[in-house]
């Protein structure tokens, strides 16, 4: 409860009379005061230069080459990380060796731009999820589905370009099993609070064969084949892994730019 | 370049013939398969219990009391943190001692719910920014303006309820200088990447006297009297400080809940 | 393919020599050029004045009073909107009449600030979801759960303060069944694209008894007792409805501010 | 104030005794109840098929071709929309005709994926903003800068890949003036409320030569050469315009997919 009682409007008039030049209550005619062009120029720090790839899809100068066809040195077995990646190199690409298990990068990543090309097995067998099934897991947990979705109906949130059982792709721009498909991905890792709970979910933008299929969608949680997706406790950067789902899916030209 | 040439539609028919029961390409009649209600019930972990304040505005059981009228023990001088807060306690409230400088909490905070009550000086002097000017700085950097905005025109992004020179309030629900105003704030700290740059800006929701004035707006950067607001390099939790802007602004009933 | 071949560095030197005063490639010493304080003051349009309620929880001057204890004139039966709301007025509050069905507002709302007080039935019967169950549905579709969650364990995403089967509350600040609880809500309606699909999900901030329980969470979709929540096709503003779940839950002091 | 006083814990015990089988307050051992895999499969509606371009950068089957080198039929003069676009076609590309003014599309767009290739004038003249300056304006208002930023220092928020005077690019992956640069853009239009004010700002993701330079940044407002950027009143889809900034900047292979 305030003790001093004043007549407010009188006080205001008094205030107006004694006001110094320091403050003005009259709005300027132009609002806000005009600037000069240079005032919204920001020069520092200089933006770092990167040499782009020769053509679209080629690795730029600051990319880490995860696979260029020559060897699997950047990968290990997911089952036993002390062992080399058990998949096969065929020509310029690698091929899943069914039953050998997933493979994963030696390096760990968080936010990144990833380029990866994949092709379904040349021999088309089975249907739906049985055809050319694999997957790219970001931070070892969040799956961008790999599937032969060319003329192959399955559930929309499980086809190529989907965040598996989370977000269906906007469109289906798949090529046939004898052609190569291209993923260009911008992945933003989830942020966790000091309490170990997720603060900001992971986000992902995906182009499949140059066509936008995911536009900065929020990933709901860790990928699960069964049940609701929820965030695991806080985790840091982690490996990218490629899934052995029993099909001879092929991969080539994989590079990544940590962001 | 793929070597094996197959007639795709033939291959698909063959595939359809040999498909096991494992995968179905026929969409189920109901999609997705019906669940049971219990499948979307999440029981663990139990939500922690908090005892609310007796009436709105009273501190709940998990709040840290920053000021209850009895002392300034939670505060120190901003100029010299080894010194006690130099402001004055008058009855149940504290009052800015003009010229003594800002005061700040001993504790540091990040995400939080803050309750704070303020009143303009009883004697109305000056106009615009000269009237009852003070401020609440979250993480020592981002200012929620405190001003006597009762019948006192100033720039819209500088009046009470504004994020100073960043976001004007939605409305102006100020009480007269002899009454107490109430801020209820939800502040979400900015998140920074490992490169020290801001990933997600700070966000703030503000009620002034129970009326929404900021709805989860993104704070553009560190508060500046002059020029563009930009994010400083990465920082952690930090003090809340109250500004000495030369006016005898009063504060009472300040409590905070780290989130 | 470009035809003209030039030696680029030579060209650049030449360019630098002939450059007029119009453009400078030398960064200014101070970047950006210093502004004046007035340049970041925005005066127009003036922020509209609202008279706040006398104390926290009271309706401000721009609120629509949905229920003040005197009558149910702002409400109709959900079953048959041509009929008056079939619930009972007892003293200063209304009480669910079990079996009579839900009630809904005559007016439609989108983004809004809502204040609503509720109390569990005085006689405590049953447990879990059977105790004081009701709900507030925004835009007739998205439910903020009402339940007697005082010393009453249930699934975390179904207790008071939850967005039903979507988001558990941060904490449980419920009062006992003989006391009144207060919801203060900021609801942001979903935005739909011209294709009828959701662009931006609904968001909600909820205080229960002055304690934050939901901080601008995104609502996943239309509330469902069974199964996944998804967004319905595009819709506009719609009624707020209160649920008859078979318990004599009480409501009072309901007001709303369209935002 | 409630009238009926009961001893709550006694009431709860009574309640527990009389509880029917309808509700359980005992958490299930597994939470939530296990689902079947099919329950999180969503089949409908089927994702639409798009035929991708033959190689990256080629238009997919659902794109609108804005320029393929043959004519300027999709464009008009910005100064006088009743007149054809006054720029020049040279070989497979168009070239700005300095002084003739901006050109704009006949069609209007909102959310879109845009592909556009540009090249700086073959003869390098001037420095900083004077070199190969042009721009792509989304919805006629929000500029993605076009500039010859190859070995050409300027302010970071004004170089190629910047949202002009809003967001500097993450990196600078420009090619030399004799080569073609490629923009791949995902643009999300701002959403406006019924009050005509912006609800959700525009967002943009930009790749320059296949390298991410903007990751879903929020556009602060209408592009201004001088002063702060703010949102204009509500507007709908609008033209894309290309700027005549006095330099003979070249464009080719422009296509767009409304999203």
Number of structural domains in chain A? 1
In tens, the pLDDT along B158-195 reads: 999 999 999 999 999 999 999 999 999 999 999 998 88
Residue partners of B195: CB distance under 8 A and separation at least 6? none
Q: What is the mean pLDDT of residues B136-147?
A: 98
- Describe chain A by its helix, strand, coil percentages, rounded to 5: 10, 30, 60
Q: Does residue C207 surpass a pLDDT of 70? A: yes
Q: Give CA B26 to chain center in angstroms.
A: 50
Query: Please, are residues A211 and D52 in contact by the beta-carbon 8 Å criterion?
Result: yes
Residue D14: the pLDDT is 45
Residue D195: the pLDDT is 84
Strands (E), chain A: 64-67, 75-77, 88-90, 93-95, 103-105, 112-119, 134-138, 142-146, 181-188, 191-192, 198-200, 203-208, 211-218, 241-242, 250-258
Instruction: Identify the band that residue D154 occupies on the pLDDT scale cut at 50, 70 and 90.
Output: very high
In tens, the pLDDT along D107-134 reads: 999 999 999 999 999 999 999 999 999 9
Give the Cα separation of A166 and A158 in Å (integer): 8
Contact C179 D2 (CB under 8 A): yes
Q: What is the mean pLDDT of residues D85-102?
A: 97
Within-domain flag for D38: no
- Describe chain C by its helix, strand, coil percentages, rounded to 5: 10, 30, 60
Residue D22: the pLDDT is 60
* Chain C residues lying within 8 Å of D150, measured CB to CB: 8
Q: Which residue has the higher pLDDT, D199 or A7?
A: D199
Give the Cα separation of D207 and D115 in Å (integer): 10
Within-domain flag for B253: yes
Q: What is the mean pLDDT of residues D198-221?
A: 96
Q: Does residue A195 surpass a pLDDT of 90? A: no
Chain B residue with the nearest C-alpha to that of C228: B40
Instruction: Identify the band that residue C26 occupies on the pLDDT scale cut at 50, 70 and 90.
Output: low
- Residues 30-49 on B with a CB inside 8 Å of D are 31-36, 38-44
Give the Cα separation of B167 and B155 in Å (integer): 11
Q: Does residue C25 surpass a pLDDT of 80? A: no
Q: Does residue D17 surpass a pLDDT of 80? A: no
Distance from CA of A92 to the nearest CA of C (A): 29
Q: Coil, helix or strand for A213? A: strand
Distance from CA of B36 to the nearest CA of D (A): 8
Instruction: Identify the band that residue D62 occupies on the pLDDT scale cut at 50, 70 and 90.
Output: very high
In tens, the pLDDT along B56-95 reads: 999 999 999 999 999 999 999 999 999 999 999 999 999 9
Residue B24: the pLDDT is 66
Q: Select from D126, D113, D127 the least CA-distant residue to D50.
A: D113
Instruction: Identify the band that residue A226 occupies on the pLDDT scale cut at 50, 70 and 90.
Output: very high
What is the average pLDDT score of chain B?
Answer: 91
Within-domain flag for D210: yes
Give the Cα separation of A99 and B148 in Å (integer): 72
Distance from CA of A237 to the nearest CA of B (A): 11
Other Cβ atoms within 10 Å of B217 Cβ, number: 18
> How many angstroms separate the most distant Cα atoms in chain D?
91
Query: Please, are residues D111 and C197 in contact by the beta-carbon 8 Å criterion?
Result: no
* Chain B residues lying within 8 Å of A154, measured CB to CB: 25
Q: Which residue has the higher pLDDT, B21 or C245?
A: C245
Q: Does residue C45 surpass a pLDDT of 70? A: yes
In tens, the pLDDT along D244-257 reads: 999 999 999 999 99
Q: What is the mean pLDDT of residues B111-137?
A: 96
Q: Does residue A116 surpass a pLDDT of 80? A: yes
* Chain C residues lying within 8 Å of D2, measured CB to CB: 119, 122, 178-179
Within-domain flag for A6: no
In tens, the pLDDT along A23-38 reads: 766 666 556 788 999 9
What DSSP letter does each residue of B171-213 carry, written as one string?
SB-PPPTTS-EEEEEEEE--EE-TTSSEEE--EEEEEETTEEE
Instruction: Identify the band that residue C144 occupies on the pLDDT scale cut at 50, 70 and 90.
Output: very high
In tens, the pLDDT along C188-198 reads: 999 998 888 89
Within-domain flag for B163: yes
Query: Please, are residues B102 and B238 in contact by the beta-carbon 8 Å criterion?
Result: no
Give the Cα separation of D194 and D201 in Å (integer): 15
Give the Cα separation of D242 and D221 in Å (integer): 18
Q: Does residue D50 surpass a pLDDT of 90? A: yes
Query: Please, are residues A254 and A105 in contact by the beta-carbon 8 Å criterion?
Result: no
Asked if the peptide bond before residue C45 counts as cis, ω within 30 degrees of 0, the response is: yes
Instruction: Identify the band that residue B16 occupies on the pLDDT scale cut at 50, 70 and 90.
Output: very low
Within-domain flag for C97: yes
Q: Does residue C29 surpass a pLDDT of 80? A: no
Q: Does residue A57 surpass a pLDDT of 90? A: yes
CATH number of the domain where residue C202 is located: 2.60.120.560
B19 half-sphere exposure, CB direction, 13 A CA radius:
22
- Class of residue A158 by CB neighbours under 10 A (exposed 0-12, middle 13-18, buried 19+): buried
* Chain B residues lying within 8 Å of C48, measured CB to CB: 171-172
Residue D23: the pLDDT is 73
Q: What is the mean pLDDT of residues D134-145?
A: 98
Q: Coil, helix or strand for C18? A: helix
Residue D8: the pLDDT is 44
Residue partners of A206: CB distance under 8 A and separation at least 6? A144, A161, A169, A183, A184, A185, A212, A213, A214
Residue B22: the pLDDT is 59
Residue B195: the pLDDT is 84
> D228 in contact with C at a CB cutoff of 8 Å?
yes
Give the Cα separation of A135 and A140 in Å (integer): 11
Contact C32 A40 (CB under 8 A): yes
Give the Cα separation of A206 and A187 in Å (integer): 8
What DSSP letter does each residue of D87-127 carry, written as one string?
-EEETTEEE--TTS--EEESS-BSSEEEEEEEE--SS--S-
Structural domain boundaries enclosing A104: 64-258
Within-domain flag for C210: yes
Residue A194: the pLDDT is 81
What is the average pLDDT score of chain A?
Answer: 91
Q: Does residue D172 surpass a pLDDT of 80? A: yes
DSSP annotation of C70 reads S
Contact D42 B32 (CB under 8 A): yes
In tens, the pLDDT along C119-142 reads: 999 999 999 999 999 999 999 999
- Class of residue D224 by CB neighbours under 10 A (exposed 0-12, middle 13-18, buried 19+): middle
Instruction: Identify the band that residue D30 occupies on the pLDDT scale cut at 50, 70 and 90.
Output: low
Instruction: Identify the band that residue C3 occupies on the pLDDT scale cut at 50, 70 and 90.
Output: very low
Residue B31: the pLDDT is 60
Residue A26: the pLDDT is 66
Chains within contact range of chain C (3+ C-beta pairs < 8 Å): A, B, D
Backbone phi, psi, residue A159, to 5°: -90, 175
Residue A33: the pLDDT is 86
Q: Does residue A21 surpass a pLDDT of 60? A: no
Number of H helices, E strands in chain C: 1, 15
Q: What is the mean pLDDT of residues D77-88?
A: 97
In tens, the pLDDT along B207-249 reads: 999 999 999 999 999 999 999 999 999 999 999 999 999 999 9
> C128 in contact with B at a CB cutoff of 8 Å?
no
In tens, the pLDDT along C150-170 reads: 999 999 999 999 999 999 999
What is the average pLDDT score of chain C?
Answer: 91
Q: Select from B60, B64, B12 the least CA-distant residue to B258.
A: B64
In tens, the pLDDT along C174-184 reads: 999 999 999 99
D206: left (phi over 0), alpha (psi -120 to 50) or beta: beta
For testing contact with chain B, the best of A21, A69, A128 (most B CBs within 10 A): A128
Q: What is the mean pLDDT of residues A151-166?
A: 97
A259 half-sphere exposure, CB direction, 13 A CA radius:
20
Contact A31 C43 (CB under 8 A): yes
Within-domain flag for A177: yes
Q: What is the mean pLDDT of residues B3-19?
A: 43
Query: Please, are residues C65 and C107 in contact by the beta-carbon 8 Å criterion?
Result: no
What DSSP letter does each residue of B116-183 carry, written as one string?
EEEE--SS--S-GGGSS-EEEEETTTEEEEE---TT----GGGSTTSBTTTB--SSB-PPPTTS-EEE
Residue C2: the pLDDT is 40
Instruction: Identify the band that residue A6 occupies on the pLDDT scale cut at 50, 70 and 90.
Output: very low
Give the Cα separation of A216 and A21 in Å (integer): 51
Contact C33 A34 (CB under 8 A): no
Query: Please, are residues B181 and B118 in contact by the beta-carbon 8 Å criterion?
Result: yes
> B165 in contact with C at a CB cutoff of 8 Å?
yes
b/e per residue, A192-220, with b = 16+ CB within 10 A? bbeeeebbbbbbbbbbbbbbbbbbbbbbb
Residue D4: the pLDDT is 39
Residue A193: the pLDDT is 85
């Amino acid at each position: 409860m305030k003790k001093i009682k004043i007549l407010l409007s009188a006080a205001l008039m008094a205030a107006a009379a004694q006001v110094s030049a320091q403050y003005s209550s009259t709005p300027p005619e132009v609002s806000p005061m005009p600037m000069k062009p240079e005032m919204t120029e920001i020069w520092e720090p200089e933006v770092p230069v990167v040499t782009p790839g020769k053509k679209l899809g080629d690795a730029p100068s600051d990319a880490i080459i995860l696979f260029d066809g020559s060897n699997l040195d950047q990968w290990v077995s997911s089952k036993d990380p002390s062992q080399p990646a058990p998949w096969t190199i065929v020509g310029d690409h690698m091929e899943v060796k069914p039953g050998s298990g997933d493979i994963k990068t030696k390096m760990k990543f968080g936010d990144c731009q990833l380029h990866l090309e994949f092709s379904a097995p040349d021999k088309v067998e089975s249907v739906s999820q049985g055809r050319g099934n694999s997957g790219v897991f970001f931070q070892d947990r969040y799956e961008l589905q790999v599937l032969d979705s060319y003329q192959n109906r399955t559930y929309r949130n499980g086809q190529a370009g989907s965040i598996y059982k989370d977000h269906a792709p906007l469109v289906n721009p798949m090529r046939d099993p004898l052609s190569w498909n291209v993923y260009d991905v911008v992945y933003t890792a989830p942020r966790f609070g000091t309490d170990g709970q997720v603060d900001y979910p992971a986000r992902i933008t995906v182009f499949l064969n140059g066509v936008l299929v995911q536009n900065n969608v929020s990933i709901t949680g860790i990928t699960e084949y069964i049940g609701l997706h929820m965030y695991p406790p806080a985790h840091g950067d982690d490996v990218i892994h490629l899934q052995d789902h029993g099909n001879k899916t092929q991969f080539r030209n994989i590079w990544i730019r940590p962001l």
